[in-house]
A = this chain, B = another copy of it.
Amino acid sequence: MAFDPATLTYTSDGLIPCIAQDVEDGAVLMMAWMNAEAVTKTLETGRVTYWSRSRRAFWVKGESSGHVQELVDLRVDCDRDCLLAVVRQTGPACHTNRRSCFYTSVTHGDEVELMRPMVD
């Protein structure tokens, strides 16, 4: 069946969450939002492209930092209201220069930092 971004379920703001997972080791890197046009751009260009809610603009991941995400596979969930982008990540995915945005663990009631910023 041909894929049509219009068949996805979006929020009232026209957005759908997209999880980025590293193809190398399966690490969950980040979650950000796309609109239908960002989904299309991601598939057409092979560069993962989100919609920045704060800037209200397309956000080609890594366009300024160089920390690009090359799309390996885009997956749709059963409810069609969440996406999973399997990616080849260059450098850190997180704006803090950590590899993943999920670097804080809740352990025995405390917040514990699991990873330090990557050094370029």
Contact = CB atoms under 8 A, between A and B. Distances in A.
Interface range for A: 35 or more
A2 B84 contact: no
A120 interface: no
Nearest to A27: B26
A109 B2 contact: yes
B28 A19 contact: yes
B2 A73 contact: no
Contact of A75 (B21, B25, B73, B114): B114
Contact of A98 (B31, B43, B78): B78
Contacts of A111: 1-3, 76
A103 interface: yes
Contacts of A77: 30-31, 101-102, 104
7 contacts: A2-B110, A3-B111, A19-B31, A21-B28, A74-B105, A74-B106, A75-B102
